[in-house]
Amino acid sequence: MTQPVTASFTKFLPKVELHAHLSGSISRQCLHEIWARKKAQDARFAVEDPLVIMPLGKVDYSLPTFFNVFTKSIYHLVNDLESISYATTSVLRDFHADGVTYLELRTIPRNSPTASFTKEEYLATVLRAIASFTSAHDISVRLILSLDREKMGPAEADAIVSLAIANKPVVVGVDVAGNPTKGDISVFGAAFAKAKANGLGVTVHFGEVDPPAREDELDTLLGFNPDRLGHVIHVPGDVKREIVRRRLGLELCISCNVHAKMFDGGFFDHHFGEWRLEECPVVLCTDDMGFFCSPVSNEYLLAAQHFELSRADIVRICRKAVGVIFGGEEEKKRLHRLLDEFEATYTE
């Protein structure tokens, strides 16, 4: 009889994470610590304790609530270079502790609202935190720079892509993210073409809401020639067939989709069950671990529990995920070697 997939198994599995957002992955405890420091420095600091806004154990956040917390809390807490460095290191520590061996962390470079730092200084701070952490821990970390679909136009998108190109090879790709009910993503066509021409990977948030912000949005996104798609929840049949034809990598976020009620149904109804039967590589991801409190190991455990997956099934999913990382061939060889070593330690 084969051994069941357990929490210990999925934690020690050498995993990749390809869809995690930096700001959304900051733990509530880390945010509380940043808040406490700011409150101690200035008793008039008006931002509410994040443990009050996001009580421990609460994971059911609608999309409007989700974006509201960023606007009213997180962006007002992690708004100086010291806090950005502290939060980035905390996020890396959490992924490393969960057995993630390769991480593509995405973030939107922003200027400080108070003009205390530029988007270039923001990115440099994140890169320094990554370099410091990876020099002392066995994890490879890369960055994906995101374009904010609600707030950016063509000029700012081009500037972000230029920033990504200038910071290769740690920056490996670009993304379009933000509120899926807002904005016209067609304005990013030239920016994504520039990214592709300069060897960057392209991943896009795709089919998060039904209907999309614009009727032709999914076709427009596919026109950017992406390498991977995130979420892919609400996808018409003809679009799904095109995705399968291209064998695009799919970043699926089970907990986030269920808890945020991004579709009608629960874990058993998640579209992972359909996509895993297709030829596309499926990558299980956390999306926003700080909000939904589900590390990557738990995403694998949930998939095993609700879709009757064996240990061999889980390892196969991991191997396919390695094939769509943006980190290059040497990194893929390293990850396959780690999976070989792990596979040799368990018996069916």
Name the residues annotated as catalytic. 208
Tokens of 270: 């998640």
Burial of residue 189, with CB atoms counted within 10 A of its CB: 0-12 exposed, 13-18 middle, 19 or more buried:
middle
For residue 190, give Cα distances in angstroms to 196, 197, 303.
Answer: 10, 10, 37
The 3-state DSSP class for residue 280 equals: coil
- Answer whether 212's CB lies under 8 Å from 218's CB: yes
Distance CA 227, CA 201 (A): 6
- Answer whether 303's CB lies under 8 Å from 284's CB: yes
- Answer whether 141's CB lies under 8 Å from 103's CB: yes
Distance CA 308, CA 292 (A): 23
